[in-house]
Each structure stands twice: as C-alpha cells, then as structure tokens.
Amino acid sequence: MSQGNLITQLPLSRREMLRRMTVGFGQIALAGTLAEQAAATDSDLLSPSPSHFAPKARRVVMLFLNGGPSHIDLWDWKPVLARRSGEPMPFDLPENDMTFGVKGARLLGPISKYRPRGQSGIRLSDLMPELHACADELCFLNGMHADNSAHQPARRQVFTGVTLLGKPSFGSWVSYGLGTENRNLPSFVALRGAKFERASAFLPAAHHGIALSTGSRPIKHLVDSSMSKPEKRAQLDFIQSLNRAASVQTQDREMEGMIRSMELAFRMQVDAANLADLSGETEATKRLYGLEDSATKTAGRQCILTRRCLEAGIRFLSVTLSSWDHHGDILKNHPTSCRSVDRPIAALIKDLKSRGLLEDTLIVCLGEFGRTPYWQDDPRIGRMPGREHNRYGFSAWLAGGGIKPGFVHGATDEFGGTAVDGKVHMHDLHATILHQLGLDHEKLTYRHAGRNFRLTDVYGEVVHEILG
C-alpha cells in the first residue's frame, strides 16, 4: 500500500494512522541524517572528471542554425552550378524524400558572389562578410550528410545522435563525461531551442541542460526578492527534507533530479544573475556584437552571453539561431537571416581569440541539413523560389579547440547536391568533438535497459584530417 494513498484510503483505524505517521516521520528523520551524504553524492555527479586522454578543448559552443541554411549560398562554392543556373535538372530527384513543389524545377545557382578570403584563400560568399573575414580561423566540412530530411528528426540527430526521441542530448553526454568547472553554475546550458536539445533522458538528471534567457533574468523564477538568503536556505532545507523522504521510498530519478536542481538553483542565484549583467561590458564590446542594431541585437546578446558563460566555467553551450527554413523567396529571406547573425558570430570568434579563450574552446556551427541546388516553387509560401531540404550533402564549420584553421575538408558534387569526397556523417562529427574534449566516443557509455548506450550509438569515426 503506497504512502501516497494515505488520505484517500479511508476509513483508517487509530493504530493504522499512527503506524503510517511513524513511518513518514521516520523517513523524514532518515532523510535529514542522509542530507549531507546525499548532497555530497549530488556534488560528485558534477565534479570534474578526468578525460580519457589529454584534451585540446575544454569547452564547446554549438551554434545551431535552425531550419537548415543553404550551404550553396554560403560556404560551398559551385562554379558549374552558377554557370548552369536556370537549366533543367541533369539528375534525378531522390526517391522517397521531401520533394514538395519541385516538379519541373530548374537549377538555382548561388544567390551571392563568392571570393577568396584571408591568407587561406578559401572562397566564401558575400552574404556573411564579417564572419568570412575570419576565414583563416575556420575549418569547413563540405562533405556533411545526415539521415533524415524532416526538421524534428534531423534536429534530434544533431543534438542526440539519433532521429528518435528519448536519448540524452550532446551537452548532457559532455557533462556526464567531464563534469563541471564551476559548482555554482550548470555544466550545460542552452540559449533557446527545444526541450529535447538539453534533455538528460536516462543519464543522471544532474546532467540535464539549463535553459538560459538573454533577458535581465537569465533563468526564470530563480530569484525571489521577497525573502532573505537565510530564509531561502531554511525554506529549501525543509523542502529538500520532504523531497529526500519521498526519494528514499520511491527511488524516483525525476525526484532526484528535482533535488539536485533545487540545490544548484540556490547556489546559482548570484552567479547566474551576474551572467546577464552587461553593465561591465565596454561600449566597444557591445558594438562589436551589434547590440545597438535591431537586426543583430538578439543574436548579439546570445553571443555575448555565450562568451560570459564560457568565462564563468560552463562546459557546453548550445545556441539556437533562427530562422533558416527558406522554402520561398530565398533572395530576400536568406540575406536577412545572414545579416542577423554575421556580426555577432564573428564578434564571438574575435572576442574569444583576444581573451585567449579560442585556443581551448571549440565552436561548431551547422544546421540540421543543407538545401537543394534546384529551386522549390512552393505555392504555400509564394511564387518566389526557395530551396528544399537536403540531407545528402551540406556544410558545417568549426573554429578553435585544436581544429586545423583555414582549411576545407570534403566536397559535394559539382552541383552541391550530394557529398562525394571526405564524407562526414553526424556521428563522425560528434566523435570528433568528443575527441577534442579528450573523450573516446566508444568509451563514453552509460548502462541503461540492459545495454550500453553512447552518443554515437555503434557508429562514428574521428575525422583526423581536420585536427591541428
């Protein structure tokens, strides 16, 4: 008979009521005596853990371009496609894939000019001039490919390694493998994005990512100004005694996660509030990130907060930058999206480098897939053409963290439709990021439901060609 049914299961004899009350008070007392031990255990879950081998990076920033940017219009120069733009497609469309509104479609060349950048001479488009001025810091993977052409499954593969629900997020795996550098802050935070992108799933709940806002209160409901700190501590201790009593009885993973979250929230009240306080930033730094421009202000605050989180010791940050799903009117929509993030992302790279943080911070930028080399005439959106989803070939780029700078690895075919050389699957990218953190993706495992799970499932190879 469960303790939760104490009130609903009436009538009760006096003896039975006293028996149950005694059990309940006993559990609370037991929880109290175990509080320090449990708190130590909670702390141990996030304590820094040794890596499998010497790392090249200590921190990761994942810049996620939500919706799927057009690699053809940004990073993957295709002179043949440019020359033949407007011609009928010289290849068949993929079977059983997303081809809505492309019947009779023609080739669509890059919508912007490409030119060599930096000392490396990498050809990049004019749509992101600030970022592309940093070409000598960037490493491009132009042979990326993935498993699904629909947004949600493809996003899940980016963040969890698989297209299905219920698996731990990338940041949770990193937190599980390495712990935190600052016990007063979470090891993994997300600036925007879906809940599954920060979920710990079956990993210990202490590794669940914390959602961070760019507003004056970075974490909702964290601070209650009506109570003093001693009052908050007393209130939390009482609530935690009840939580631990319930946890002792039920062994509930979610309850354990709640207990840890409350303890962390109490410790975060000062440190987390300071993260969003930009009063100490110089006007020059604010202009660098574009905070004075309405077009770049949102992404600028995300990127400057990212830098502040890295300085504070947060291990993994996912930053979702929207929106890149340009099925229609790509001539207008794509440049608008590019302008919104170009200056902030470039500022993050420059700022980290000037502060000596880029060397051991790995920045990864990608979408869930790329776009097709042919137009999509989608009547739901309008008659102006856009591009359809393309999982068969697209680009990602990395910077810092021991990655070879000013380098291009892999290629798509002459039209930019399919990866043909130096192919890198999402599993390979994940394995490579973990490698730079000093983690062997085949050894980073967690036992659940009778088998060992890992971020890369049973796949993945480190892309050694891009390592510095």
DSSP line for 396-465: EEEESTTBPSSEEE-EE-TTSSSEEES-EEHHHHHHHHHHHTT--TTT--EEETTEEE-TTTT-----GG
Residue 206 lies in a domain: yes
Instruction: Indicate left, alpha or beta for 369 from its phi (over 0: left) and psi (-120 to 50: alpha).
Output: beta
Residue 286 lies in a domain: yes
Q: Among residues 144, 207, 198, 152, which one has the least CA distance to residue 175?
A: 207
pLDDT of residue 144: 99
Q: How far apart are the first and last CA of the chain?
A: 62
Q: Among residues 362, 394, 318, which one has the least CA distance to residue 467?
A: 362
Query: How many angstroms separate the most distant Cα atoms in the chain?
Result: 90
Give the SS3 label for residue 119. coil
pLDDT in tens, the chain (468 residues): 344 444 444 455 555 544 554 444 444 443 443 334 444 444 467 889 999 999 999 999 999 999 999 999 999 999 999 999 999 989 887 776 767 667 777 899 999 999 999 999 999 999 999 999 999 999 999 999 999 999 999 999 999 999 999 999 999 999 999 999 988 888 999 999 999 999 999 999 889 999 998 876 766 655 556 667 677 667 667 766 776 776 666 566 666 666 666 666 666 666 677 888 899 999 999 999 999 999 999 999 999 999 999 999 999 999 999 899 999 889 999 999 999 999 999 999 999 999 999 999 999 999 999 999 998 875 565 567 899 999 999 999 999 999 999 999 999 999 999 999 999 999 999 999 999 999 999 999 999 999 999 999 999 999 999 999
Q: How far apart are CA 63 and CA 310, in angstroms?
A: 14
Residue 139 lies in a domain: yes
Residue 35 lies in a domain: no
pLDDT of residue 24: 46
Residue 253 lies in a domain: no
Give the SS3 label for residue 80. helix
Q: What is the dihedral angle through the alpha carbons of 426, 430, 436, 438, rounded to the nearest 10 degrees?
A: -150
Residue 6 lies in a domain: no
Give the SS3 label for residue 372. strand
Q: How far apart are CA 381 and CA 214, in angstroms?
A: 31
Write down how long the chain is. Answer: 468
Residue 29 lies in a domain: no
Q: Which structure tokens are listed for 426?
A: 């999402």
Q: How far apart are CA 393 and CA 416, in angstroms?
A: 7
Q: How far apart are CA 326 and CA 70, in angstroms?
A: 8
Domain total of the chain = 1
Q: Which structure tokens are listed for 367?
A: 């979408």
Residue 270 lies in a domain: no
pLDDT of residue 309: 96
The DSSP secondary structure of 274-339, one letter per residue, reads HHT-GGGS-HHHHHHTTTTSTTTHHHHHHHHHHHHHHHHT--EEEEEE-----SB-HHHHHHHHHH
Q: How far apart are CA 463 and CA 435, in angstroms?
A: 9
CATH number at residue 429: 3.40.720.10
Structural domain that includes position 95? 55-218+276-466
Q: How far apart are CA 339 and CA 325, in angstroms?
A: 15
The DSSP secondary structure of 20-77, one letter per residue, reads HHHHHHHHHHHHHHHHHHHHHHHHHHHS----SS--S-SEEEEEEETT---GGGTT--
Rg value, the chain, Cα: 25
pTM: 0.85
pLDDT tens digit string along 435-444? 999 999 999 9
Q: Which structure tokens are listed for 133?
A: 């001025």
Those residues whose C-beta lies under 8 Å from the C-beta of residue 307, and which sit 6 or more positions away, are: 348, 351, 352, 355, 357
